[in-house]
Amino acid sequence: MGQVTLRDVADRAGVSMKTVSNVVRDYRHVSPQMRDRVQAVIDELGYRPNRTGRSLATGRSNVIGLAFPDLRNPYFAELAHVIARVAEERGYRILMTETGGTDDGERAALLDRESGMVDGVLMQPQSLRGAELERVRNGTPIVVFGEDPEPADADHVAIDNVAAAAEAVAHLVRSGRRRIGFLGHEPGHPGRTSALRLRGYRQALDDAGLRFDPDLLIARGDENAHGAEVALDAALVRGLELDALLCREDLAAIGALRSLRRHGISVPGDVAVIGWDAIQLGASTDPSITSVAPDTRALAEQALDLLLLRIGGSTEPGRHVVVGHELVLRESAP
């Protein structure tokens, strides 16, 4: 037998081509009995979907672009994993792109749609902003993660960074901490994410009647664990006293643990540490890291559902969806 077609499977199974297509796409309304019947024929004949032909017939690839700045960041890697699983449940595959946070990288991710490779794009832009992103995307359906303002007709999914930071600091205050640092500060013109987390940090200090001390904002160079370690080392050497740290992300918290241990400071005995993102590695450090955990499943589901509406032709104004979070208590700040 030559190339097995959808018609071959339908004829052998005694069903319509539409039913075979629904099974191939894993549509949920197909009964288990019908799914088993058709799948048995698919396996018997060795049928493989012709994605090129289907794309020409429908104008869609059933592939979604996912564009993150840096996949070395464990949070992006873990979120990408969840998005891929949720996309599969909806009959889509993911085409992953690492943009490097540059104009060219982000443009390339959006141009995948013009080439017919993807139907739409989920992305966390770092370089393209507002009107520039609107011009470059040229009608590509997108949903953005992150906290920066985006085009009025682009959908946006995030957590409440202000509330989450305030909850983390309030937890530290309840445990008796009073000199609470913020590690990962970006002086001058901080990114929107850092600015929102810093706002929540200051709000919680105000609510607790604690004076804000700018010396407790610890800036770092490189945005990784080593950069945080070096920054905290320098602060401790110059005599900074603190009894707790809210870190911009778990990588910063990992760097903080190394620095504090080297200076003979116990965690959480002398200094409690809270990270952000609740990456898997944070559960295996010594001590394990208490962390703000975004609801990654909800992030993935909301983003994909909004994108599929855009792909389907929705022209509604951009929607801003806030999903939940929780403070995962571990050893570094029980």
Q: What tens digit of pLDDT does each residue of 103-115 get?
A: 888 888 888 776 6
Q: What is the mean pLDDT of the chain?
A: 88
Identify the band that residue 333 occupies on the pLDDT scale cut at 50, 70 and 90. Answer: very high
Lowest mean pLDDT among 177-191, 271-285, 303-317: 177-191
What is the predicted pLDDT for the residue at 25? 65
What is the predicted pLDDT for the residue at 151? 63
- The CATH superfamily label for domain 62-158+295-324 reads Response regulator (3.40.50.2300)
Q: Where are the domains of the chain?
A: 6-49, 62-158+295-324, 161-293
Q: What tens digit of pLDDT does each residue of 248-270 get?
A: 999 999 999 999 999 999 999 99
Residue that has been written with the tokens 């992953």 in this structure: 96
Specify whether the CB–CB gap between 104 and 128 falls below 8 A. Answer: no
Over residues 19-30, the mean pLDDT reads: 73
Where b means 16+ CB within 10 Å and e means fewer, 163-182 reads ebbbbbbbbbbeeebeebbb
More confident residue, 12 or 271: 271
Where b means 16+ CB within 10 Å and e means fewer, 63-80 reads bbbbbbbbeebbbbebbb
Q: What tens digit of pLDDT does each residue of 191-241 get?
A: 778 889 999 999 999 999 999 999 999 998 778 899 999 999 999 999 999
Lowest mean pLDDT among 21-25, 169-173, 252-256: 21-25
CATH fold of 6-49: 434 Repressor (Amino-terminal Domain) (1.10.260)
Over residues 125-145, the mean pLDDT reads: 82
Helix-helix angle 32-45:17-24, to 10 degrees: 90
Best CA proximity match to 183, nearest among 75, 257, 238: 257
Tell me the backbone φ, ψ of residue 327, rounded to 5 degrees. Answer: -95, 110
* Residue 147: both structure tokens together: 């906290």
Contacts of 65 (CB under 8 A, 6+ apart): 94, 95, 97, 109, 110, 112, 113, 117, 118, 120, 121, 122, 123
Highest mean pLDDT among 13-22, 57-66, 286-295, 310-319: 286-295
Half-sphere exposure of 62 (CA within 13 A, CB side): 21
What is the predicted pLDDT for the residue at 143? 93
Lowest mean pLDDT among 147-151, 217-221, 323-327: 147-151
Highest mean pLDDT among 19-23, 53-57, 182-186: 182-186
CATH fold of 161-293: Rossmann fold (3.40.50)
Q: What tens digit of pLDDT does each residue of 44-61 get?
A: 888 766 554 444 444 567
In this predicted structure, the answer to whether residue 3 has a pLDDT above a threshold of 50 is: yes
Q: Do domains 6-49 and 62-158+295-324 have the same CATH topology?
A: no
Q: Which amino acid is at 145?
A: F
